[in-house]
Amino acid sequence: MMAVRVGIVGWGPVGQNIYRCIHELGLPYDTLKVMATREREDEVDGQKVQILGLGEEFCEGRLGLFEGLDVVFFAGREGEKGAAKTWGIPAMEKYGCYCVDNGADFRMEPGVPLIVPEVNMDDATADTKFIASPNCSTIQMCVALAPLAKVAPMKRIIVTTFQSVSGYGREAQKELCDQLCQCDPHQLGGKCLSFDPKVFRRPIVLDCLPHIDAFMDNGYTKEELKMLFETRKIFGDEKVGVTATTVRVPVEIGHSEAVNVEFAGEMNAAKARELWLAAQEEYGLVVIDDLAKDTAGWPTPSAPKQDSYMGHTYADERSYPTQADVLRDEYKNAVLVGRLRDDYTNPNTVNFWCVSDNLRKGAATNVVQIALGLRRKGLLP
């Protein structure tokens, strides 16, 4: 197979991680153009990167930068002046390149496949030159659900997310760090911290904010509705119910989710665990849910000494993943799952916890995996 001619549009945290993932995941290329609003030189992991300037507005002359490219990853701004809207459609129409958009502008557009490669790579064809990558919180949940949904249809999903500030962007990461510096360890409670209401409506440090994206007329936020409509589109199932509460937490990188899923077919925790373990390599899953052993490497305390509680005896401690784990090199592209247990209030229903790096599998890793999937299908050189 030939090498791929690649473009990246946008040079924030996601764009830089796309650059890293192209190299780490082995997407072979003979051209790699990085484009952003202004021309400059930057450095990633010791490598100098030349960034070509597209400018603030569409310019026919600058469109020529896309000529000859096979695939372009869009990591930049969304909305009316979003990079994918400004450059993606014209580049695809004029030069026939695949455009893989990490933004939200086209996810629910009819005819635009919304791809999680482990789940629905078959939705990408020679006729779908424009491909959308889902919301970060949707991606990790769908990866965890997919091996189970292949065995038993899903009926209803209840999910609460605990999302890091990097999901908002660099400004939010800076705000969290600035507020941490303001904190007096001897007077943590009740102190009024300075904050920018354009980032978060309230200080984020030492607090959790049940508010991600804009509020909609039904009381949900747009982020919560994304998890409903995107999950249905990815699985091709308009009947599955999804209700979400999305929460911003004072963590810099990594999203966690508490998921309760009811199946229309037979399912329990033991069966789900077997399916996960069998699917780890294929789906990029890591099961961290062992008795009396922390496979993430943290020390394990001894079990409580009491005999029982309400008819339940105490067990050994269990391991479980957290957002800190996704910063480890071996987990940065994976979806970590644990806290698997039966929902004893409802048959064929399980609870679990999943964690992933929102800048990697929730964004950069997923789009590069889409390109690798296109190559396996013979749609890219």
The residues assigned a catalytic role are 136, 255
Strand 154-163 with 241-248, pairing: parallel
E strands, 136-254, are 154-163, 241-248
Give CA–CA dist 29/33, Å, rounded. Answer: 10
Strand partners, 354: 257, 337
- Number of other residues whose CB lies within 10 A of the CB of residue 147: 21
Is residue 76 within 8 A of residue 82, CB to CB? The reply is yes
Interatomic CA distance for residues 332 and 179, integer angstroms: 26
Q: 365-376 and 13-24 are packed helices; what angle lies between their axes, rounded to 10 degrees?
A: 40
What's at 120, amino acid-wise?
Answer: N
Q: Which tokens sit at 214?
A: 């804009």
Q: Which H or E element spans position 195? A: none
Residue 296 to residue 273: CA distance in whole angstroms = 17
